């Protein structure tokens, strides 16, 4: 995973951009101040503004108040460490690596609402796996959006892998079926299935995901081994609903947090963590296939509160 080095720098650089006048960082607010009600109110505001959500924010603020009353927190600076600790504790040590099949191929199903960056995220996963010397096959199950199959094909050409595709407007489950059969026949290590973006409110389309799961499982018992939900780091509290609905329909096993290179701080995963147990597995921090890294709570929290 040598390629991940450097990405961290880029992530930090990405997050530093936020300091440039848009929203003053929490650190600069608390600097040199006594912890009082006015400051707590400002801290609340910053947390809300990073999409942590009302409920999670309220709990974090409560914990600050409790510790402040107990005399454990007196200075503004203490709050940063306190928050880091509290948020980090939301992700206890856990296995955040890709779940592998007992025997190849491992099938990864990518899901998410429209425009979150599923196809780009697939390119990133694919590049990472290729870098580790694994063989990968892609299945283009997005038969709905114009140009989606071609988009995946272009990535595949760039990354030197093959794509199984169907007809535009065809049945995505049949593409999944063919792709699974091909993955077995070719003996590849990984099969990654791209699906069409769908709003979690569209029951018919959500059922389609369940069907894809079923079809894949029929070909390769136990598959898909990993179902990743791609969440846009800029998304708001609606991400909670996305996690819930996709969890139900597709049995999501992990979150891929995309677009963390903007000014959004991805506080939404804190909100999501607060309501579900789905682990965050990867974060995407740029447009090139190399811009991916495994989720690490320690570093994520550091970056969230970085100067």
Partner 1 sequence: MFDRISDSFSGAIRKLSGSGSISESNVREAMGEVRDALLEADVQYEVAEAFCDKVLKDALGREVTKSLKPGQEMIAIVHRRLVELFGGDPDADQQPAPPGIMKMSPGPTIVMMCGLQGSGKTTTCGKLAGLLKKQGRSVMLAAADLQRPAAVEQLQTVARQANELPGGAQVHFYAEPDKVAAYGKAVGVAVKVCQNAVKEAKAKGVDVLILDTAGRLHVNDELMGELGQVKSLLSPHHIFLVVDAMTGQDAVQSARSFHQRLAVDGVILTKFDSDTRGGAALSVKEVTGAPIRYIGVGEKLDALEPFHPERMAGRILGMGDVVSLVEKAQQEVSEEDAKKLEAKMSKGELTMDDFLKQMKTLRKMGSMKSLLGMLPGIGSMLKEVDIDEKQLDRTEAMIQSMTPAERSRPDLINNPRKRRIASGSGTDQTQVGQLVKQFGMLNKMTKQMGSMSAGSKVAAAQQLSGSGMFSGMPALPGMGGKGSTKSASRGVKKRKPKRR
Residue ranges that bind partner 1, judged by CB under 8 A: 14, 17, 22-23, 45, 48-51, 53-54, 113-117, 119, 144-151, 153-155, 158, 168, 199-201, 232, 234-239, 241, 259, 261-264, 268, 287-288
CB of 224 to partner 1, least distance (A): 23
CB of 271 to partner 1, least distance (A): 9
* Distance of alpha carbon 191 from alpha carbon 219, whole angstroms: 12
Q: Which is nearer to partner 1, 70 or 146 (CB)?
A: 146
Structure tokens at 172: 């995505």
CB of 289 to partner 1, least distance (A): 10
CB of 131 to partner 1, least distance (A): 18
Q: Which is nearer to partner 1, 28 or 34 (CB)?
A: 28
CB of 72 to partner 1, least distance (A): 27
CB of 45 to partner 1, least distance (A): 5
Q: Do 101 and 108 contact (CB within 8 A), yes or no? A: no
**Which residue is listed with tokens 């999409």?**
51
Q: Beginning with the edge strand found earlier in the chain, give each strand of the sheet holding 136-141 in spatial order.
A: 162-165, 136-141, 190-195, 106-111, 226-232, 254-258, 280-284, 292-294
Structure tokens at 293: 């890294």
Q: Which is nearer to partner 1, 187 or 236 (CB)?
A: 236
Q: Which is nearer to partner 1, 224 or 289 (CB)?
A: 289
Q: Which is nearer to partner 1, 96 or 144 (CB)?
A: 144
Q: Which is nearer to partner 1, 144 or 299 (CB)?
A: 144
* Distance of alpha carbon 71 from alpha carbon 291, whole angstroms: 43
CB of 71 to partner 1, least distance (A): 29
Burial 207-230 (b: 16+ CB within 10 A, else e): ebbeebbebbeebbeebbbbbbbb
Q: Which is nearer to partner 1, 254 or 286 (CB)?
A: 286
* Distance of alpha carbon 265 from alpha carbon 252, whole angstroms: 23
From residue 148, give the alpha-carbon distance in Å to each of 58, 105, 113, 133, 215: 41, 24, 14, 27, 21
Q: Do 47 and 60 contact (CB within 8 A), yes or no? A: yes
* Distance of alpha carbon 26 from alpha carbon 29, whole angstroms: 5
Structure tokens at 150: 């071609």
CB of 103 to partner 1, least distance (A): 33
Q: Which is nearer to partner 1, 101 or 123 (CB)?
A: 123
Question: Strand, coil or helix: what is 269?
Answer: helix
HSE, side-chain direction, 13 A CA sphere, residue 256: 28
Structure tokens at 234: 């800029």
């Amino acid at each position: 995973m040598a390629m991940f080095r450097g990405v961290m720098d880029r992530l930090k650089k990405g997050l530093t951009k936020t300091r440039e006048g848009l929203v003053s960082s929490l650190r600069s607010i608390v600097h040199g101040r006594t912890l009082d009600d006015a400051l707590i109110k400002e801290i609340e505001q910053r947390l809300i503004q990073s999409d942590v959500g009302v409920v999670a924010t309220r709990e974090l603020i409560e914990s600050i108040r409790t510790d402040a009353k107990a005399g454990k927190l007196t200075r503004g600076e203490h709050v940063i460490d306190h928050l880091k600790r509290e948020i980090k504790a939301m992700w206890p040590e856990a296995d955040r690596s890709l779940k592998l099949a007992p025997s190849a191929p491992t099938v990864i199903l990518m899901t998410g609402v429209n425009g979150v960056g599923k196809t780009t995220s697939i390119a990133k996963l694919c590049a990472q796996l290729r870098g580790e010397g694994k063989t990968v096959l892609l299945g283009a199950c997005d038969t709905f959006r114009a140009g989606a199959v071609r988009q995946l094909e272009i990535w595949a050409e760039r990354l030197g892998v093959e794509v199984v595709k169907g007809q535009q407007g065809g049945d995505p489950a049949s593409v999944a079926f063919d792709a699974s059969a091909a993955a077995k026949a070719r003996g590849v290590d990984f099969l990654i299935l791209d699906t069409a973006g769908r709003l979690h409110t569209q029951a018919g389309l959500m059922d389609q995901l369940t069907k894809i799961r079923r079809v894949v499982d029929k070909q390769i018992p136990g598959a898909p081994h990993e179902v990743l939900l791609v969440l846009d780091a800029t998304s708001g509290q609606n991400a909670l609903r996305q996690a819930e609905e996709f969890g139900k329909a597709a049995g999501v096993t992990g979150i891929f947090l995309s677009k963390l290179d903007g000014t959004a701080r991805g506080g939404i995963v804190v909100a999501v963590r607060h309501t579900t147990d789905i682990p965050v597995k990867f974060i995407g921090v740029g447009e090139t296939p190399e811009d991916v890294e495994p989720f690490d709570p320690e570093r994520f929290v550091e970056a969230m509160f970085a100067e």
